[in-house]
Amino acid sequence: MAEVTKVAVESLDTLEEKLTQELGYDDHFHEHHHGDKYQSNFLTTYIFSTDHKIIGRQFLITGIFWALMGALMSLVFRLQLGFPEADLAWLKPILGKWIQVNDAGIGKLDPEFYYALVTIHGTVLVFFVLTAGLSGTFSNILIPLQVGARDMASPLLNSFSYWFFFLASVVMFLSLFLSTGPFSGGWTAYPPLSALPQASEGSGAGMTMWIVAMALFIVSALLGGINYITTVLNLRTKGMNLWRMPLTIWAFFITAIIGVLSFPVLLSGVLLLMFDRSMGTSFYLSEIVVGGQILDRIGGSPILYQHLFWFLGHPEVYIIILPAMGIVSEVLSVHARKPIFGYRAMVLSMLAIAFLSFIVWAHHMFMAGVNPFISNFFVVFTLIIAVPSAVKVFNWISTVYGSNFRFNSASLFALGFVSLFISGGLTGIFLGNSAIDVQLHDTYFVVAHFHIVMGVAAFFGMFAGIYHWFPKMFGRFMNETLGKIHFWGTMIGAYAVFWPMHYTGMAGVPRRYYDGGASFDAFRHFTELNQFITVAAIIVFFLQVIFVVNFFYSIFNGRKVTTKNPWGANTLEWTTPINPGHGNWPGKIPAVHRWPYDYSKNGEEFVPQYVPLRAGEHDHGH
Amino acid sequence: MTALLIILCVILVGIVLVQIARIVELISQIKGEREVMRESSWWNAHLSLVFLVVFLAGVFLSSYYYRNELLGYGPHKAASAHGSDIDSMFNVTLFFTGLVFIITHIALFWFAYKYRWREDRKASFIAHDTRLEVIWTAVPAVVMTLLVVRGLDAWNTIMADVDPNEDYFEIEAVGQQFNWIIRYPGPDGKLGSRDFRLTTALNQVGQDFRDPKNWDDIIVAQECYLPVNKKIRVRIIAKDVLHNFYLPQFRVKMDAVPGMPTYFVFTPTKTTAEYRNELRKYPEYHKPYDPADPQGPKRWEKFEYELACAELCGKGHYSMRRIFRVVPQEEFDAWYRQQESYYLTQIRGKEEDPNKGKVLDIDPPAKDTLSPTPATLSKI
C-alpha cells in the first residue's frame, strides 16, 4: 500500500504532525529522557530492556521457540499413533532411553514418554505459546502504542514478567532431561496421579519441576496482567476514552482482568498439590492403595483440585482466544476498509464471555463424579456463551459484507480465524450439553473441538497479528508469497488434521491412548485415518517452518517500510516513527478525537483517530 | 539413506520456495503496488471460493464415507435405554449446528470473494444495525434454550439414581493401575462393605469379611455377564488414581475416584448376540476379525461390549480392557449360578479371614461328618 496513496499519505503525515503539535499531549518527555540511560548498550537495549516493544518481541520469540518444541513433540506422538509399527530407532540419538529397541532392531516409543510428550505439548502450547506468546506479545507491543502511552505503567515489573516467563521456560525445558522423564499425567495434572510418584514415573521429579515452572509462569502472568490493566486504565492519551479504544485493547484489557482473577486460583491449587506431594497433607488424597501400599491419607478429594484447576482452566481458554478475537477484529476492519460491524456489541459480547467464563468451569467435570444436579447450572451458563460468540461471528461476517477486502497474509489469517472459530465453536454446543457429553467426554471429539477452536484459531489470530504488525515491530514487511503459501497450506492442513478426529470421537475412541485404541475391537479400525492425520500434521509442521524462516529472514532482509502508516490504519501505533524508539513518540503524544473505525466514511478511505471531528460529525464509538 | 534423501528434498523444496518468494517480491516492486494488490485480491478471492467448495464438499463426502462411525447412525446406535436419548440429542444438535456451519461459511467466503479489493470499489460505511443485531442475538438464544431444555431433561433422567424399592441389579467396578476389578453381589443381591485399609494382595478391593454380605460376593475374573433389559447400577470407585468407567455402546461414562464412590445406572437393551446381528448388516463388519487370518471369524461374529478407561491413569491407561456380555435373563442366571464366592474360594481360612476358626453357615458341610454345625444348630 505504500505507494498507493503516496500523495495522500504525505499530506496526512504533515497533517498528523501539525495536529499533534497543536492538540497533542505534552508530557515534557524530552526534558526527562536525555541520552536515554536505559538503553545505552546491547544488554540493556535487547536483553534486560524495560521497553515494552522489546519485551513484546522477547515474548514472541520465546513463544515461537516453544511452539516449535510443542509441534515437534506432537509429531513424535503422531508418528506413534499413525504408524505404530514403524521403526523409531532413528529417534534414539535424540530421545535416548525413551526409544526401546527390541532384538529385531525395531525402535518403539516408551508409553511413559508418549504420555510425557502429550502432557508437555499441552502445557507449553496452552501456557507458554498461546498465553505468553500471544497475549504477552501483543498486549506488550500494542497497549502502549494504541492507547497513546510512552510505555507500560511499570516497565520494570513488565520486564520481570518476561524474565519470570523465561525462568519458567528454563525449568520446564530442563525437566525434559530428567532420568524419570518430564511430568506425564496430562496438562490438567489431576491428582492422585500427579501427586503420587509411585503411580507414574513422571509424577516424581518431573512433576516437581512442572509445578515450579507453573508457579513461575503464574507470577509472570500476574505481573503482566496487572501492568496491562493499569496501563489501559491510567495511561490513555488525551481524548482516548474507553469507547474510543480499539477492540484489540478491549480484548487485552478484558483478558488481563480474567487472568488476574483466575491465575491465583490455579497457583493455590498447585501449591496444595505440592503440600500433598512433599509434606504429607491430604487435600486431594483419600483412601488410596497404590502399588500394594496403603497410604495413610484420608479425607481429601481429587475433585477439589479439579474445581481449582478449571476455575482457571476454563477462563484460560478465553485468555487464549480473546486476544485473538481482538486482533482479528482490528485486522479485518483495517483490510476490509470498513468499520468493524457492531463495535459496542463486540465489546459487550467480550465482557459477557469474560463474565460467563467464571461460572462454567464445571462443564469439564460432568463425568467427574460431581453431583449431577450441579451440572444443570453449568449446562445453562455454558450454552449461553454460544450467544455472545454467535454475535461476534455474525459481526465479523458483516464486516466483510460490503467491504473492499484487501487480501493479504494478515487478512487471510483473520478470515481463517473466523472459519475455525465457527467450526470449533459449534462442536462446543455438543460438549457443553451434559447429556451428549456422557458419550463424547474424553474422546477424540473433544480433541478436535479444542484444537480447532482455541488451538488453531488462536494461532491464526496470532499469525494475523504478526503479519499485520510486523512492519511496526521490525520496520520491514514479511514476504507475502511465503505468507500466502503459509496461510493456504495451514488452513487446509489444519482442517485435514483435526476434522477427521470428529469421526473417531463419535465412534467413541478415547483420547490419550498410546496405541490409539488398537487393543479395543471398537476403536481399532481407524488405521488409514490415523495415517492420514499424521501425514497432514507433518506437512503442516513444515509449513510452519516456512513461517519461521520468513519471520527471521524478514527481520533482517524483508522489504523496508517507507511510510509511517503502510496499511492506512486509524490507530495510534501508526503515528509513531517507522522504528519507534524508547518513549514511542519523539515529541508530543497525539490526542484522540474519534473511535478507531472510521473507514470509508463520507468518501474518505480512512480517518485516523487523531483527526478532530468535523463540524456536525458524529463519533461512532459513543 | 531414504530418510536423508527425504530431508534433502524437503530442504531443497524450502530453498526453491524462498527463492520464488524473493523473485515474486522483486517482480511486484516493478509492477507497482496497485497491480500487485489487484492480482493478489483476484487470486485469493477465487482461492477462497475454491476453498469454500472443496471444504464443504470434503465435509459432506467424509461424513458420508464415515457415516457408520457417526453417533446414533448405523452400527453406532446405542445399546441401552437411556442411550437413544443421547443419540437423538446429538442429532438435534447436529441439525442446528450443521445449518449454522453451512450458512456462516458460505456467507464468510462468498462475501470475501464478492467484495474483494478493486480500485474502483468503495466500501460502505455500515457501523451497525440494531434490528439485525437484535435478531441474531435472539435467534441463537431461542435455539440454545431449546437445546438446554431438552438436554437437561435427558441429563436428569440419565443421572437419576435408582429408587431403593425398584428392581435393579448392582455391581461394583474398582479401577486400579491397569485393570478393572468387577464385583457381583452373589445370591443375597447385596455388595458387602469395604475398607481400603483391609486391602491385601489377596483381598484386592479391601472387602470387610466380618460383613456377611461379603461372604457370597463374586469377583469375576473373565467376561462379565449382564442380563438384558434389567436396570444395572454400577458402583464405581478407584483404588489408586482416577479412572473412568466407559462402556461406549451403552453410553456409559463415569469417573472412578479414590475415596468417593460414584455410580451410573443403565439398562442394556440389546444382547451381545443381537448387537452382532445388527453389525452383520454392514459390509465393513464382514471383514475378517484378524487380518492375518482371512478365513477366520468375521468382525461381527467376534463383537463384544468392551469396558475402557477414559481418564488418564498412567502409562497403561490404554490397556484397561474388559469384556461385558449381555445375555437373556435365563442365560445370565445359569452363568451366575456357576460363579463362586470369592470369600469361600480364596479367603476362607487364610490369614485375611477374620472369621478363621469360627464356623459359618455358608461353609460347605464337612465331608467326614454329617452332624450339623453349631451355627446351623443355633438356627434351628
Q: What is the pLDDT of residue A2?
A: 44
Q: Can you count the helices (H) and strands (E) in chain A?
A: 21, 6
- Mean of pLDDT over chain A: 92
The single-letter DSSP state of residue A151 is: S
Q: Confidence band (pLDDT; 50, 70, 90) for A242?
A: very high
Q: Chain A closest CA to B352's CA: distance in Å?
A: 15
Mean pLDDT of A84-108: 89
- The answer to whether residues B143 and B216 belong to one domain is no
- Please tell me the least confidently modeled range out of A260-274, A318-332, B31-45: B31-45
Is B317–A115 a contact, with Cβ atoms under 8 angstroms apart? yes
On whether any CB of chain B is under 8 Å from the CB of A94, the answer is no
Q: Chain A closest CA to B226's CA: distance in Å?
A: 19
- A239 sits in the region (left: phi over 0; alpha: psi -120 to 50; else beta) called left
Instruction: Quick: pLDDT tens for A420-474.
Output: 999 999 999 999 999 999 999 999 999 999 999 999 999 999 999 999 999 999 9
Q: What is the pLDDT of residue B360?
A: 80
- The answer to whether residues B288 and B211 belong to one domain is yes
**ipTM score for this prediction:** 0.92
Give the cell for residue A515. Answer: 496405541
- The answer to whether residues B178 and B40 belong to one domain is no
Crossing angle (nearest 10°) for helices A111-123 and A205-234: 10
Residues of chain B contacting A2 with CB distance shorter than 8 Å:
33
Instruction: Quick: pLDDT tens for A546-564.
Output: 999 999 999 999 999 999 9
Q: What is the pLDDT of residue A1?
A: 42
Superfamily of domain A6-606: Cytochrome c oxidase-like, subunit I domain (1.20.210.10)
- The answer to whether residues B154 and B174 belong to one domain is no
Residues of chain A contacting B20 with CB distance shorter than 8 Å:
481
Q: Confidence band (pLDDT; 50, 70, 90) for B11?
A: confident
Q: Where are the alpha helices (DSSP H) in A24-51?
A: 29-32, 42
Residues of chain B contacting A620 with CB distance shorter than 8 Å:
127
Q: What is the pLDDT of residue A28?
A: 72
Of B97, B108, B314, the CB nearest to A193: B314
For B295, phi then psi, to 5°, come to -90, -10
Task: Classify residue B292: in a domain, yes or no.
Answer: yes
Q: What is the pLDDT of residue B291?
A: 84
Q: What is the pLDDT of residue A35?
A: 52
- The answer to whether residues B146 and B240 belong to one domain is no
Q: What is the pLDDT of residue A5?
A: 47
Q: Chain A closest CA to B148's CA: distance in Å?
A: 6
pLDDT tops 90 at residue B290: no
Q: What is the pLDDT of residue A116?
A: 96
- Closest of A578, A616, A619, A584 to residue A598, by C-alpha: A619
Cα dihedral A308→A199→A174→A553 (10° resolution): -70
C-alpha–C-alpha distance, residues A574 and B286, integer Å:
66
- The answer to whether residues B206 and B311 belong to one domain is yes
Residues of chain B contacting A112 with CB distance shorter than 8 Å:
315
Task: Classify residue B366: in a domain, yes or no.
Answer: no
Of A369, A523, A549, the CB nearest to B255: A369
Q: For residue A302, say if its preceding peptide bond is cis, omega within 30 degrees of 0.
A: no
Q: What is each CA distance from A442 to A111, B60, B247, B311, in whole angstroms?
A: 19, 25, 13, 7
Q: What is the pLDDT of residue A47?
A: 82
Task: Classify residue B321: in a domain, yes or no.
Answer: yes
Instruction: Quick: pLDDT tens for B20-29.
Output: 888 888 888 8
Instruction: Quick: pLDDT tens for A144-165.
Output: 999 999 999 999 999 999 999 9
Q: What is the pLDDT of residue B244?
A: 96
Longest dimension (CA), chain B: 113
Helix (H, G, I), strand (E, B) or coil at B225: strand
Which of B242, B262, B266, B306 should we substitute to test contact with A (largest number of A Cβ atoms within 10 Å)?
A: B242
C-alpha–C-alpha distance, residues B179 and A517, integer Å:
15
Q: Confidence band (pLDDT; 50, 70, 90) for B72?
A: confident
Give the cell for residue A179. Answer: 532420568
Q: Chain B closest CA to A9's CA: distance in Å?
A: 15
Q: What is the pLDDT of residue A40?
A: 67
Q: What is the pLDDT of residue A10?
A: 62
Give the cell for residue A26. Answer: 505534552
Under a CB-based contact definition with an 8 Å cutoff, are residues A211 and A586 in contact? no
Residues of chain A contacting B2 with CB distance shorter than 8 Å:
none
Task: Classify residue B306: in a domain, yes or no.
Answer: yes
pLDDT tops 50 at residue A121: yes
HSE (side-chain half, CA atoms, 13 Å) at A88: 24
Q: Is the dihedral of CA B54, B56, B59, B62 positive or negative?
A: negative
C-alpha–C-alpha distance, residues A161 and A325, integer Å:
23
Mean pLDDT of A250-270: 96
Mean pLDDT of A493-501: 96
Q: Where are the alpha helices (DSSP H) in A507-589?
A: 527-557
Provide the CA A118 distance to its chain's centre, in angstroms: 18
For B313, phi then psi, to 5°, come to -130, 10
Give the cell for residue B14. Answer: 524450502
Q: Confidence band (pLDDT; 50, 70, 90) for B4?
A: confident
Domain hosting B280: range is 169-347
Helix (H, G, I), strand (E, B) or coil at A70: helix
pLDDT tops 60 at residue A622: no
Of B129, B140, B158, the CB nearest to A390: B140
Under a CB-based contact definition with an 8 Å cutoff, are residues B135 and A425 in contact? no
Residues of chain A contacting B10 with CB distance shorter than 8 Å:
542
Which of the pair, B360 or A492, is modelled with greater confidence?
A492
C-alpha–C-alpha distance, residues A326 and A464, integer Å:
11
- The answer to whether residues B54 and B199 belong to one domain is no
- Mean of pLDDT over chain B: 90
Q: Confidence band (pLDDT; 50, 70, 90) for A33?
A: low
Give the cell for residue A599. Answer: 473507514
- The answer to whether residues B309 and B199 belong to one domain is yes
The single-letter DSSP state of residue A44 is: I
pLDDT tops 80 at residue A195: yes
Chain B 105-164, residues with CB within 8 Å of chain A CB atoms: 105, 107-109, 111-112, 115-118, 121-129, 132-133, 136-137, 140-141, 144, 147-148, 151-152, 154-156, 158-159
Minimal Cα distance from B202: which residue of A? A292
Q: What is the pLDDT of residue A41?
A: 74
Query: CB-based contacts of A80: which residues, under 8 Å, 6+ apart?
Result: A88, A109, A114, A514
Which of A108, A445, A481 should we substitute to test contact with B (largest number of B Cβ atoms within 10 Å)?
A: A481
C-alpha–C-alpha distance, residues B67 and A506, integer Å:
10
pLDDT tops 90 at residue B374: no
Q: What is the pLDDT of residue B2?
A: 76
Task: Classify residue B282: in a domain, yes or no.
Answer: yes
C-alpha distance across the termini of chain B, in Å: 86
Q: What is the pLDDT of residue B235?
A: 96
For A99, phi then psi, to 5°, come to -105, 115
- The answer to whether residues B193 and B151 belong to one domain is no
Is A301–B260 a contact, with Cβ atoms under 8 angstroms apart? yes
Mean pLDDT of A104-119: 93
Instruction: Quick: pLDDT tens for A505-544.
Output: 999 999 999 999 999 999 988 999 999 999 999 999 999 9
Sequence letter at residue A233: L
Q: What is the pLDDT of residue B169?
A: 95
Q: What is the pLDDT of residue B365?
A: 64
Place of cell 509424577: A203
Of A184, A406, A479, the CB nearest to B37: A406
pLDDT tops 80 at residue A31: no
Helix (H, G, I), strand (E, B) or coil at B323: strand
Report the number of distinct structural domains present in chain B: 2
Is B40–A408 a contact, with Cβ atoms under 8 angstroms apart? yes
pLDDT tops 80 at residue A214: yes
Residues of chain B contacting A115 with CB distance shorter than 8 Å:
312, 314-315, 317
- A148 sits in the region (left: phi over 0; alpha: psi -120 to 50; else beta) called left
- The answer to whether residues B152 and B179 belong to one domain is no
The single-letter DSSP state of residue B193 is: P
pLDDT tops 70 at residue B241: yes
Residues of chain B contacting A185 with CB distance shorter than 8 Å:
312, 314
Q: Confidence band (pLDDT; 50, 70, 90) for A338?
A: very high
Task: Classify residue B2: in a domain, yes or no.
Answer: no
Q: What is the pLDDT of residue A3?
A: 44
Q: Chain B closest CA to A426's CA: distance in Å?
A: 6
Instruction: Quick: pLDDT tens for B80-127.
Output: 999 999 999 999 999 999 999 999 999 999 999 999 999 888 888 988
Q: What is the pLDDT of residue A30?
A: 65
Report the CATH number that the domain containing residue B254 is assigned in CATH: 2.60.40.420
Q: Confidence band (pLDDT; 50, 70, 90) for A496?
A: very high
Give the cell for residue B258. Answer: 479414590
C-alpha–C-alpha distance, residues B297 and B304, integer Å:
13
Q: What is the pLDDT of residue A4?
A: 44
pLDDT tops 90 at residue A621: no
Q: What is the pLDDT of residue B380?
A: 43
Provide the CA B329 distance to its chain's centre, in angstroms: 26
Instruction: Quick: pLDDT tens for B166-197.
Output: 999 999 999 999 999 999 999 999 999 999 99
Place of cell 463415569: B254
- State what percent of residues in chain A have pLDDT above 70: 96
Q: Confidence band (pLDDT; 50, 70, 90) for A32?
A: low
Task: Classify residue B358: in a domain, yes or no.
Answer: no
For B183, phi then psi, to 5°, come to -115, 130
Chain B 217-276, residues with CB within 8 Å of chain A CB atoms: 239-242, 244, 246, 248-249, 251-255, 257-260, 262
Residues of chain B contacting A122 with CB distance shorter than 8 Å:
none
- State what percent of residues in chain A have pLDDT above 90: 82
Chain A 348-407, residues with CB within 8 Å of chain B CB atoms: 367-369, 372-373, 375-376, 379-380, 383-384, 386-387, 390-391, 393-394, 396-398, 400-407
Is B259–A550 a contact, with Cβ atoms under 8 angstroms apart? no
Is B144–A383 a contact, with Cβ atoms under 8 angstroms apart? yes
Beta bridge partners of B306: B323
Residues of chain B contacting A247 with CB distance shorter than 8 Å:
none
Q: What is the 3-state secondary structure (H, E, C) of A155-213?
A: HHHHHHHHHHHHHHHHHHHHHCCCCCCCCCCCCCCCCCCCCCCCCCHHHCHHHHHHHHH
Of B125, B129, B253, the CB nearest to A441: B253
Of all helices (H) and strands (E), which one includes residue A393?
A: helix A386-400
- The answer to whether residues B209 and B100 belong to one domain is no
Task: Classify residue B109: in a domain, yes or no.
Answer: yes
C-alpha–C-alpha distance, residues B186 and B310, integer Å:
28
Q: Chain A closest CA to B355's CA: distance in Å?
A: 23
On whether any CB of chain B is under 8 Å from the CB of A292, the answer is yes
Q: What is each CA distance from A243 to A23, A343, A595, B77, in whole angstroms?
A: 20, 9, 7, 52
Is A288–B100 a contact, with Cβ atoms under 8 angstroms apart? no
Which of B16, B34, B115 should we substitute to test contact with A (largest number of A Cβ atoms within 10 Å)?
A: B115
Q: What is the pLDDT of residue A9?
A: 57
Is A441–B89 a contact, with Cβ atoms under 8 angstroms apart? no
CB pairs under 8 A between A and B: 380
Of A345, A438, A521, the CB nearest to B251: A438
Beta bridge partners of B326: B226
Q: What is the pLDDT of residue A11?
A: 75
Strand B232-238 relative to strand B169-176, pairing: parallel
Of A419, A482, A514, the CB nearest to B17: A482
Instruction: Quick: pLDDT tens for A560-581.
Output: 999 999 999 999 999 999 999 8
For A560, phi then psi, to 5°, come to -75, 145
- The answer to whether residues B106 and B183 belong to one domain is no
